[in-house]
Chains A and B, each alone.
Chain A
Amino acid sequence: MRTGLRLLISALALGVAGFFIYRQLAPDNTAVDALYAATLPDQNGQPQALSQWRANIVLVNFWATWCPPCREEMPELSDFQEKYRARNVIVLGISTDDVAKISEYSKAHPVSYPLLAGDFQAMVLAERLGNNKGALPYSVLIDPKKGVRRIYFGRIDIQQLERDVRGIVE
């Protein structure tokens, strides 16, 4: 009887803890909706509604021109984009900079995916998508059906990313 009681309490405690961990860590889907509700200018200053990529498997990459690790991973993300373009995958580079900065940057270092000037909105969106530390680069992999699949703090591991994407595609 005693063991049974202990068991019950443990199970309850674990359940509650698990629930809170889940609430704490898992980004809610309204964050994804907020992302797709946004309209941001691209490197040419053209406003782009993010909802146009709603049907894609999206990797949102938050970055900044002043952030060395971000700049380091961008060529790799560019290659990744090329490799998976045919499989409905799109990378969106949302910068904390303004249009002038990213347009200057994209001329010097062109990439194969759209760059968007998030300006002040960038970190707000990133935070809603689980970036509770103000970290950059910060990437989020979004499955069109199931929402956020994985988040990546810091310099991304492309092999890990490819494994995660294949998990969705296949």
Chain B
Amino acid sequence: MSRFLILVFCFLAACAHAQTGLLADDDAARILEPNKAFHLQVEAVDAQTIIAHFTIAPGYYLYRERISFKLDGADDSVIAAIELPPGEIKQDPNFGEMLVFHESFDGRILLKHTGAAPQEITLLASYQGCSERGLCYAPIEKTLSVELPGADGTATGGSETDRVVKLLRGGKWWLIVASFFGFGLLLALTPCMYPMYPILSGIIVGQQHPTRLHAFNLALAYVLGMALSYTVIGIAAAFSGHLISNALQTPWALGFGALIFVVLAFSMFGFYDLRLPSAVETRLARASNHLKGGRFVGVFAIGVLSALIMSPCVAAPLAGALLYIGQTRDVVLGGMALFTLAIGMGVPLLILGASAGAILPRSGPWMKLARNFFGVVMLGMAAWLIAPVVTNLLAPTAAGTHQSVLPFKTIKNLAELKSSLQQAQGKFVMLDFYADWCVECKRFEQTTFRDPRVQKMLENAVLLQADVTQNNDDDIVLQKYFGLYGPPGIIFFDAQGREIKAAGVVGYQNAEEFLITLNRVYSSWEGECAPVSAC
């Protein structure tokens, strides 16, 4: 019976083969559909900038010169420029040197609107590519509709700070809480949180018999401590409307943070046991007899401190929240927002705590090793925190004479700024707030401003820098004038010397993000073309 089955199967298979036999059997299967070979996805980052993500399958390539974009049915909008990466050179026996893309890449389409930006535009994309296997695809044409964020940026896009401010302004209470929790979760993935892990692990590993519940409670105490710090920062910002992130970046704060790390590190090495003063401890111990869990108070305190130390690292999203809170003076909202942010940031720590009882062995040489390892990590953190302060001390250049990679002209006060703006008539002006003790400013100088693309785009601009290292009265007035809480902050002015509010930068941006900001600046430029984009 089964033999008969096989026979039938063979017969059918043969039939199928005979039918498909007239086709190039494996050829067709080997070749990708054009949409799988080249995938295009577009998204608008703001009303003037569309990013085109091209995904290219291995062994396939696109010709750079055959990529084109047009707008369909848009009378009031034009494409000001299309920016594509340089591509690779391919030697073609027929055409000579051709520029092609073998790897996935992003292109940028810069739009210009004569009136208000439309909500949606239709983009006609055309591109053409080949396979290294000796096959080309006919030009691929795509009609894509792209939703543009409004001119006031109500949809997606805008800088990180803008988004935070907008969300708060938008108002829905539960939405704010949920979003800040989300922001916190995202922040938890940044390296800012790394030092928190060894601290917390150190605490948990240090326990004699960490049960799962106990470890989780410790983690919870730590996270709540962290959350308290942020809440206080939020409330303080609401009350004072004054420079918080600034204060956190002063040499004193950084030095203090570094010191804490060193102290923690040495306790990890076993030089001493970290303990509260005996008087306090006795009182706590007495209290803990009643309250259960005096140890949690210590962990809670460490949480408070770690949050304070780490906040410069998360200054960018924090600055947006602080800016808004400072302006509205809404204490409850400010505190609430930052509390949920911190809880979000603490989620991985809670997971760590919850798992600790199961993962960590109870005793043995492993624990000693781990403690030593965390000690070394903490020393590294201390060095990282203090490095900018130390380099300043070692290089005794007085404030105001620090050398930047960009040819900045230093301004001291509002009056100097105004006269500089007048002199710059017809050119666009960038004002950068800098301070020697500002870690993020140094990152700006070391990465973003060094990027040749950024330098090229700033070639024809007037570059001003306000050095607020001293944070004297003039500096404070200048920062308040632009609603800044402290460096890093970058303000742009148009040809008439008016501030371009949509493009202001608070906090660090890497070269890619900063290029997008610059595009936004140039696109608000009325009349002429942007200095570097082709028109």
Instruction: Report which A residues bind B (CB closer than 8 A).
Output: 3-4, 6-7, 10-11, 14-15, 17-18, 21-22, 25-26, 64, 66-73, 96, 123, 130, 132-137, 148-155
Contact = CB atoms under 8 A, between A and B. Distances in A.
B23 A18 contact: no
B22 A26 contact: yes
Contacts of B1: 3-4, 7
B20 A69 contact: no
B24 A150 contact: yes
B131 A154 contact: yes
Interface of B: 1-2, 4-5, 8-9, 12-13, 15-16, 19-20, 22-24, 27-28, 30-34, 66, 92-95, 128, 130-131, 133-138, 140
B12 to A, nearest CB: 4
Given A21-B20, A150-B23, A134 B138 contact: yes
B24 A18 contact: no
Q: Which 10 A-B pairs have the closest CB atoms?
A: A155-B134, A154-B135, A69-B134, A67-B136, A134-B138, A14-B12, A153-B27, A18-B16, A22-B19, A136-B136
23 contacts: A6-B5, A7-B8, A10-B9, A14-B9, A25-B19, A25-B28, A26-B23, A66-B128, A67-B136, A69-B135, A71-B94, A133-B28, A133-B33, A135-B34, A135-B137, A136-B137, A148-B22, A150-B22, A152-B27, A153-B24, A153-B30, A154-B31, A155-B133
Contacts of A17: 16
Main secondary structure of the interface of B (DSSP, over half): mixed
A7 B24 contact: no
A14 B1 CA distance: 18
A14 B8 CA distance: 10
Contact of B138 (A64, A73, A149, A152): A64
Contact of B95 (A3, A7, A68, A136): A68
Nearest to B95: A68
Contacts of B137: 133-136
Given A18-B16, A134-B137, 19 more contacts: A4-B1, A7-B1, A7-B5, A18-B12, A22-B20, A26-B23, A66-B128, A68-B95, A69-B135, A72-B93, A73-B134, A133-B34, A135-B135, A136-B136, A151-B24, A152-B27, A153-B31, A155-B133, A155-B135
Nearest to B33: A133
A135 B28 CA distance: 10
